[in-house]
Amino acid sequence: MLLYYITGRTQFPGTDDKRRSALLRRIANASQAGVDYIQLREKDLAPRALESLAREALRVVRDNSQTTKLLINARTDVALAAEADGVHLPDGELPPSEVRSLWMKSCARAPVIGVSAHSVRDVRYAEAHGADFAVLAPIFEKPGTPVMAIGTAALREACFALASPSDVEAPYQGGFPVFALGGVNAGNAPECFRAGAAGVAGIRLFQSGDVAETVKRLRELS
């Protein structure tokens, strides 16, 4: 079972400097707790500021974990400049196959590439174009947002659509990993695992409370 922390520094209180410091502490704690992937998703930052934060975040990750991977949201150029582990591609970005090709022209180290998905078709597209995984959302409804949840039935369909016949119990094993995102918490995470998700992703899921306890509980539930 895989865990994917998506950052959101503006959810922390205080000044910009305090938010930045709080985010870096949370990244350190998440890495130490064993979160598998951290996506730096600070869309309001200019490229230079994002690169600066990415370099700091990568140092923090490396200081606290030998396995956690840092991905940069959307900005392949920033990911390469900061020597991050890869990139997460939202809607409207280049296909992952093209991003991988561009990356390999600048770096001998292969990138980790995740892709945002909102349907079974999107997940199939991500797999067909060489992504390492897809993040499917929103699985559950989130109060205060107008976006309709697609539900665990769609999650299950997406997971099993790319599974081999031998993977009917856990389709992500040896297949294409799909993460569940959107309103996921410790209470409903087991529904995602039963639907075949390789793991769960979230901002508040990992950015609120004690991240070590959250990680421990999620791994016990999977």
The model's pTM is: 0.93
pLDDT score of 126 = 96
Give the pairing of strands 86-89 and 69-73. parallel
- Contact between residue 183 and residue 139 where contact means Cβ atoms under 8 Å apart: yes
pLDDT score of 160 = 86
35 closest CA partner among 7, 73, 72: 7
- Contact between residue 4 and residue 200 where contact means Cβ atoms under 8 Å apart: yes
Task: Look up the CATH number of the domain holding residue 167.
Answer: 3.20.20.70
Name the residue with tokens 């959302």.
Answer: 137
d(CA 77, CA 74): 9
Q: Output 104-113 pairs: Cβ under 8 A, ≥24 positions apart.
A: 106/80, 107/80, 111/79, 111/85, 111/86, 111/87, 112/37, 112/69, 112/71, 112/85, 112/86, 112/87, 113/86, 113/87, 113/88, 113/89
Domain residue limits at 156: 2-221
The sign one gets for the Cα dihedral 16, 9, 41, 92 is negative
- What is the number of domains present in the chain? 1
120 closest CA partner among 163, 86, 88: 163
d(CA 27, CA 113): 19
pLDDT score of 172 = 52
d(CA 55, CA 209): 25
d(CA 6, CA 218): 16
Sequence-ordered list of residues with C-beta below 8 angstroms from that of 135, at least 6 positions apart, any chain? 4, 88, 114, 115, 116, 117, 178, 179, 181, 201
The vertex-38 CA angle with 128 and 75, nearest 5°, equals 65
Farthest-apart Cα atoms in the chain, separation: 53
pLDDT tens track, the chain, 222 positions: 999 999 999 999 999 999 999 999 999 999 999 999 999 999 999 999 999 999 999 999 999 999 999 999 999 999 999 999 999 999 989 999 999 999 999 999 999 999 999 999 999 999 999 999 999 999 998 777 778 999 999 999 999 876 555 554 555 554 799 999 999 999 999 999 999 999 999 999 999 999 999 999 999 987
